Structure formats: structure tokens, C-alpha cells
Chain A
Amino acid sequence: MTGSIHRTIAPRSILASAALTADDLRGDPRRNARERAVRVLLFAAADFSVLVSAAIVFSLVREAITFLQEADLSTLWSDRWDPRKNSFDMRTLLVATLGTTAVAMVVATPIGLGTAVYLSEYAPPGFRKVLKPVIEVLAGIPSVVLGFFALTWIAPNVVDRFFDPTSSQNLLVAGIGVGILTVPLVASISEDALRSVPLALREASYGVGAKKVQTVCRVVIPAAVSGLVAALIVAVSRAIGETLVVTIAAGGSGQASFPASFPSPELVLEPGLTMTAAMATLAAGSDQVVGQGPSFQSLFFVGLLLFVFTLSLNLLASRIVRRLRQAY
């Protein structure tokens, strides 16, 4: 690097003219050219993500429009999802999606928040160092593995034993699987929110004689509440978009009827087809080979709905987090 500096301010030219010209300060043209080239390349890399977003929206919208033009739209709000027979009831998919998501949140909220509060407020530093990787291992387990676990272990040992499902593959089994999958997500985002509460707040609480449990429940958790809510919203978004667990364990085949037990919560004891599972079965079925007609195009329409739902939830969560940042 010293070499290039000598070249930039060439001593010879200073001696010759006894004055610094603008050319001397402009620097080595090769070095400047490299600098510009790198800048352009890095800018292109950053812009690539915008291109990806545009491509996602394009992929979804183009075929979704084809679907809306070709499909019988009166079936969108009927009582059966059966793409091969041109019946595209969204209610069936939405109810199954909400069912698994609700079960997942019932599982993930107490376990995830409890783990986060313990890690942030109670765990001794040494113990925390051991526990964090355990949670990270759980976070790293692929969803297809949880689907298998839900099917082969949760279904016979938990759901069949304590509930009375109509089939051993049902929304409850899938929902528990999805819940386990979102526990690490809830735990890590919530822990970040709890740890970002200033220490001064806790000290002030102890200073007026509050016990640990009072400090945690009445000072720390209320102070972090927007972060905790954001964690839960992100978890809902993740649960809605989760595909493999619900495809393997919810018992949905290519078609499904609107659950007769709706709106009773018992509908989670029946098999069902969520939005993502409907997409996966469409793609994994023989329809893909054909790739024709509104049957396959419905995949893109459901995908577009899924994209809009998850995007709205994520935007909501990041807005809440931004409000939290402004508070401190």
C-alpha cells in the first residue's frame, strides 16, 4: 500500500514544478478505476434483492391472473377444495391454516416466552451458555424432520392418547409440530427484546423493594411488550407459511371438504388441508407434469394469498419493533 501512496503524490513532479497540480491529487487512475468497478459490483449485489422481490411478485401475479380468468370464481367461496374437479374453495384452506396456526401458537407462546424469560432474567451465565446452543439446535432442525416426528411420535403418543381424533393424521398433530418449530423463533426474538430493557429499570424496581417476580412481571415484561408481541406475530407468519409439517402430518390429500364441525374448535381433530399443503400436494402430484388448466394455476393464486398474509404480518411486526426502538 505504501507503494501506491508514493505513486499518488509523485515527489518528482513536485520538485520539477515546485507546486502541487490538480493532477497530483487525482490519484493513480488504475486505483481509481478499480475503486469504481468494485463500487458498481457491490451496488449490483445489493440491488439483486430488489430484483428477487420483483421476480417473486411477477411469478405469483402472472399465473394468479390466469387462474382468476379461467376458474369458476363462484367456487372460491363454496365448501370443497378439489382442483382436479375445478372446485377451489378458499374457506376450506383458510380454516385449516388458521386451525394449525392457532394450535401452533398455543404451544409456542407459553414455551417460547417462558424459555425467553428464564434465559434473559433467571439463568446463571454458565447455564445460559449451555442452553443457548440447545435452542439453536432445535432451530436448526429441518421442518421435514418435525413433520416425520409429528407423524410417528406426536400422533400416537400425545394426540391419540389424550384426545379423540377422527384420524391419527389431523390438524392438531400438525399444529403441535409447527408449534415446536416456532418455539426457538419466539424464544430468540423475545429474549432479545427482554435483554434490551435497560438495567436501570430493574435496579429501580429492586430499589423500591420489589421481589424478583414482581420486577420481571410488572417492570421488565411490560417494558419489552412490543418486542414480545412482534415475536409472536413473526411466529404466526412463520406458522402460516410452514409447509412440510402440515403436508406430512395433517392428513390432507389433494382435496378436502369444509369441516362440518366448524366453528367448533373440535375441527382441529379432523384431517385438513392448509394453504401450503394444498400447494405442495398440487406440485408433488401428477398435475405438475401437465402444467395446464386452472387446476395447476390455483397453486399460484394460493401462493399469492400466502405471500400477502405473511408480508402484512411481517410489516406489522417490524413497525411494532420500530416503535420499541424509539421508546429507549
Chain B
Amino acid sequence: MALASTDVTVAAVADRLRGRRADVSGRVFLGLLLAALGLTVVTLVTLLVSVTQDAMPVLQGGAVLEREKSPDIDAENLTVTVFGETIPLEAREDPVTGGTRYYRVSERSLGSFLSNGVNFTRPAENGISQGIFGTLGIAVMVILFALPLGIGAAIYLEEYAADSRLTRFIDVNIRNLAGVPSIVYGILGFTILVKALGPITGGRSLLSAGITMAVLVLPIVIITAAEAIRAVPDSLREAGFGVGATRWEVVRHHVLPYALPGILTGAMLSLARALGEAAPLILVGAQTGFFTDPTGALDRITGSFTALPMQVFNFTRQPGEILKVQAAAGTIVILLLIVLAVNATGIILRNRFEAKRS
């Protein structure tokens, strides 16, 4: 009996230690977390798949049917005459009323979509070359304005500034600027660049948009660059000062090369943000419809412009499947390719840099 009761005790203790009951609450909690994570991933995949599907007619090219409602349709010969030009038509049965509908048939290809300008009256000939030009132009201006200014400010705050009241004010100010909604930066661009400095910037121009975007991402460039500079070990600086280098020599030859991958990562993420923003473009006055490209290098910078995010916005506001869905989705695919490539460069840069350091 005594022996048996010891066995029972041992078994009970062992059970207790092993955890006899299944960890139900733990499993349920983990299940909920995985569901949250799964939703995030599923949403991303759904978004990419559904946009690509919508864009397929544009990416693959092919025939586009445009409804012709002109009263001058010659129903016998299946043609319509517009401005003296005779255009062949195709007749199809209206699925709703059973009557006859007439369509123009045009060929669209990815090449023409990438190389044509905006054309809302002939959706088959609509293209986004102007948007691609504008987005690349904004990228160049963000690199030219935001990077030197942002990295310079970060160097000053991390390497030069004493811990004074002014420094703390600048620091808080930059953090708050990073949280200002992008449309408010649009108002800034409208008031200062389009109106006040209009004679210099050309008003509603690519230059105004580029500078507005540069100012928009400036706080992010400063914050990420400052973090990268802060991560540089002090021993590097001390070694530099020890051999008699000045502060700028230490920064240029030791701190910056060490912090460069981190700075570039931040710069890439900022650039991606600038290329995807549309709200400031609406305020700065990107073109919403047809416009002829300005000629001459200077005029292209100070003249009418649009950019890819703005074109997506414009297309979604047009009636009809061809513009509202297909053209918008096609533009999104091109925009995503650019933005995600820039983003991926930043992420890869950081991962390689982290792998090297650890």
C-alpha cells in the first residue's frame, strides 16, 4: 500500500510537470495571431492578383471595343463618318434591350499604352508616357533636393549640434513634420511654389511637384539617416580625432562610409513614398486630362505635367471599363513595379548590411 501510494504520487507529479491538460488557451491565442498574420498576407496577395487581373487586357494588348453613339452611323455599310473620316464599325446585339449596338474596334498594345499620351476621347489610344516621365522627373528632383538636405541635417544633428534647447526643438519639429498628412504638404506646395514662387517654378509644374515631394519626404530622410549615423561606434570617431582629423574629416572619411548603407536604405524607402503619393499632386496641379507635352528641356520642367499616381486617380474617375478599370489597373502595375523595385533595393541593402555587421 505504502509503495503504491508513492507510485501514485510520482505519477501525479510527473503528470503535473508534463502538463496533463492540453494548452487550449495557448493554442487558441496562437491561432488568433496566425489568423491576423494570414489576413495581412492574404490581403496583400489578393490586392496584387486582382490588380494584375484587371490590368491583363492592357498588358496583353488586343482588340478594344468602343461604343459608338454618333447619330451619323451608316447602318447598312457599318461605318461612321467623323470629321470626314470613315471608320468601320461592328454591330452587336444589346444584351439588355435586344437592339443593335455599334462599336469601333481598335488595337491596343502594351507598347502603345506606355508610349502614348492621355486620351480620354479614344480610350484605346490612351497611354501613360506623360505619367512615366513625370514620375521619373519627381524621382530625380527628390534625389537632388531631399537627399543632400536630409543627410546634411542628420549629420548636423548627430555630429555637430550640442544638446541645446534649439537642437531639441529642431528634433521635435522634424518628428512632427513626419506625421503631417501629405495633402497638407500639397497646400504648402500650392501656396509657396505654385503661387508665391510661380514666376520661377512655372506654377503648376513638374518642378513645383518635385520640390513639394522632396519636402514631404525630407523628415523621413533625416530620421533614417540620423539613426544610421547614431549606430556608428564612437571608437571610429575617437580614432579619427586621435590622429588630429577635424570634425568634418572624421565625418567624411569615417562616419559617412560606415553609415552609408543605412542612409541609402532610408533614402530608398523615402523615394518610394514620394513616387507613390498622389494627394500633393492634386493640390500642386498635375493635369487631370489631355495636354500636349511642353517642348524644350526647361519647359518640360516648368510646364504642364502629370505623374503615375495622379493618372491612376484620374482614370478611376472616368466612366467606362476601359479607362476606369483597365487603364487604371495597367497604370498601377507600372507604378507598383517602379515603387516596389525602389523599396526592394532599400530592403535588400539593409539586409545585406545587417548580415555583414552581425
Contact = CB atoms under 8 A, between A and B. Distances in A.
Interface in B173-204: 173-177, 179-188, 190-192
B30 interface: yes
A137 B313 contact: no
B243 A118 contact: no
Interface string A263-296: 0000000000000100110011000100000000
Interface centre among B170, B183, B190, B328 (most CB of A within 10 A): B183
A326 interface: no
Secondary structure at the B interface, as helix, strand, loop or mixed, is: helix
Nearest to A217: B29
Interface stretch (A39-47, A87-95, A197-205): A39-47
B302 to A, nearest CB: 19
Interface in A45-101: 45-50, 52-53, 55-56, 58-60, 62-63
Interface stretch (A11-19, A30-38, A159-167, A254-262): A30-38
Given A52-B177, A59-B192, A145-B335, A300 B313 contact: no
A108 B285 CA distance: 32
Interface in B18-51: 23, 25-26, 29-30, 32-37, 39-41, 43-44, 46-47, 50-51
A131 interface: yes
Contacts of A143: 276-279
Given A49-B177, A311-B176, A142 B309 contact: yes
Interface SS majority for chain A: helix
Interface string B223-249: 000000000000000000001111111
A216 B175 CA distance: 31
B169 to A, nearest CB: 8
Contacts of A137: 44, 340, 343
A284 B306 CA distance: 13
Contacts of B175: 314, 318
Contacts of B282: 243, 280, 283-284
B179 A310 contact: yes
Interface in A109-148: 110-115, 117-119, 122, 129, 131, 133-138, 140-148
Contacts of B288: 284
A196 interface: no
B264 interface: no
B132 interface: no
Nearest to A127: B37
Contacts of A134: 40-41, 44
B279 A243 contact: yes
A46 B161 contact: yes
B243 A1 contact: yes
Contacts of A145: 47, 51, 276, 312, 332, 335-336
A144 B309 contact: yes
B109 interface: no
A153 B25 CA distance: 35
Contact of B313 (A34, A112, A138, A248): A248
Interface in B252-294: 253, 269, 272-273, 275-279, 282-283, 285, 288
A325 interface: no
Interface stretch (B58-66, B115-123, B151-159): B151-159
B183 A148 contact: no
Interface stretch (B1-9, B76-84, B94-102, B214-222): B214-222
Contacts of B312: 144-145, 148
B183 A280 contact: yes
13 contacts: A43-B156, A45-B153, A111-B36, A122-B30, A131-B37, A137-B343, A142-B335, A144-B312, A152-B54, A153-B47, A243-B279, A310-B181, A311-B176
Interface of B: 23, 25-26, 29-30, 32-37, 39-41, 43-44, 46-47, 50-51, 54, 148-150, 152-153, 155-157, 160-161, 169-170, 172-177, 179-188, 190-192, 215, 218-219, 222, 243-249, 253, 269, 272-273, 275-279, 282-283, 285, 288, 309, 312-313, 316-317, 325, 328-329, 332, 335-336, 339-340, 343, 347, 351
